[in-house]
Structure 1
């Protein structure tokens, strides 16, 4: 199950940064100060499972030998849950595509998600 924890952590970091930047843009556009809310969810992104939630749809010739899966393009249909267990109540989904874009660490580039 190589990289599942790191992938989920990277995706959660990306989503957190997106939400933070959204608030900053709102203030700079003169739309007033954004309201601050704390949300907590757990995103499950399993590439290597009996029923995967993420599927590699393209990869470079060197991807399989890379510890960071550099060069892989992944389609996701990930559940977001209230708790860290997969059996927790599903409160949304993250659907979209990402590419693993670093040779030295888990890094998601070209990330596009639709959160429901």
Structure 2
């Protein structure tokens, strides 16, 4: 359960960071060196499937600290992931991509 919350929070944070990196408001002219004009707004909708209890789990633990198992936040755990992104909430819906990468539990509290 703790891992699911962590993965969802991480995915949300990464998406937010990507959107915030744009650096300009909706409809504002972007006067950068490429002179791209007005920003186009697109909305992405996808479902991130974090399968910890599956036959082939999508996140795998690759390292952990000596205190990880006694930590309420799993501090020191490092996982790698390869998870499907789908159009709908069911795994049987059309796969539109994959979320791949590394995440770590870094909060002690």
Q: Normalising by structure 1, what TM-score? A: 0.73
**Structure 1 equivalent of residue 62 of structure 2:** 57
Give the C-alpha shift of residue 46 in structure 1. 2.4
Matched, 1:96 2:101: yes
RMSD: 2.3
- Runs (4+) of structure 1 exceeding 4 A deviation are none
**Aligned partner of residue 23 in structure 1, secondary structure:** coil
**Aligned partner of residue 85 in structure 1, secondary structure:** coil
Kindly report which structure 2 residues correspond to 1:1-116, keeping only aligned pairs within 5 A, or say none. Answer: 2-24=1-23, 30=32, 31=34, 32=36, 33-104=38-109
Instruction: Describe the superposition over 1:17-68 as per-residue Cα deviations: whole angstroms up to 9, x where unpaired.
Output: 132123227x777154432111111111223332100101000111112232
Distance 1:99 1:4, change over 3 A: closer
Distance in 2, matches of 1:92 and 1:69, equals 28
Question: Matched residue pairs, number?
Answer: 102
Contact 1:8-1:43 within 8 A present in 2 as well:
no
Give the C-alpha shift of residue 71 in structure 1. 0.8
Distance in 1, matches of 2:83 and 2:89, equals 13
Structure ID, larger Rg = 2
**Aligned partner of residue 21 in structure 2, secondary structure:** helix
Q: Normalising by structure 2, what TM-score? A: 0.76
